[in-house]
Structure 1
Amino acid sequence: MPTMFPSLVPPEGDRNRSVEEWKAGDPTPRQVVIAFVLFIIVGCAMVLSAVGMFQLNWNRTAASPQEQERMDFVVRNVRLLGVLLILLGVPIVGLAPGLRKGSNGCRRIILGLSVLAMFFMLGGWVLKIAATGQAVLALLLAVACLLMYRPGLQTFFVRHSLWRDPLDDPPGNQRDR
């Protein structure tokens, strides 16, 4: 009774664990399109939230020099986070079309930029210099990154790669050098 004792190795005919590989001639995979849309939306939201961060100022004067120092500290760090969000959000939006076209290089760069953006957004949220929306944007970036690295998409990105890497070629499909 093999079903009584589950293992990490899936049975041959398990529909729930099967991975459909992308084949030449198939349309752009749905996961790539969803990741593309998420990167565009989150990247634009990052830039818009950064613009809002530059508008931050206090409507009152500080009661003590320590309070003034704290207020200046918060304003400076919020603006720094805004600069970082612009520097990371604009390239994410700019490279997203390459992701949809199947560029493996764009996929790697977007992953690196997204990890940095998630680090800074979650850090700002934990340190209470950013709103909860930053944590939501970081979560959406993580979902988009997971979608673009689904197991069945490897052949799509290797086949359409603009910057081909010899290590990315599937076995038996080596180009003439």
Structure 2
Amino acid sequence: MTTGCSTLPSTRGLDLMNPASSLLSPGSAKNASPYQMLDGTAPATALAGNAGLTEEAYHKIREAKAQNAIVLQVAEDEQPVRVLPLPPGQKSVFVSELLNQTGVLKKLGSVQATLYRPSPDSISGVRMEIQFADDGTVDPTTDYGLRPGDRVQIQQKSTTAIESLVNMALRR
């Protein structure tokens, strides 16, 4: 008997993700991904193209907005994403104060930092570069006042030998 329907092409090549086994079993890990790749690995949790915005960071940003706090995201730290409260009232906290009080500058030395400010137009937020002077302090023109829900992303600055020589020559 003919139904007039054609058979579907094999989905073997198209089936990139299957439900994870943890979905079907009780007691699965709280933060486990509900999907797994065909090779059995979990997909990456970073939101592609969103400047290191992980799923964990996204939830921490929402938490920070609700609690009058900011998110400090330090690459390769024991606790890479932290929610830190802002002081109550009208007292302002600046990026330089955050970096000094948390000990990030002391621990990492030379760093690169970016502030992401919440925006309805962008999941990752508006990117605001933080510049540093030669002595490692935050440049006053980019020492932004922090607001609830801000995310400060920090990573250790890597310089090549040539960059170090050029910087040394420019300082003379």
TM-score by length of 2: 0.21
Q: Which has the higher helix share?
A: 1
Higher relative contact order (CA 8 A, sep 6+): 1
TM-score by length of 1: 0.21
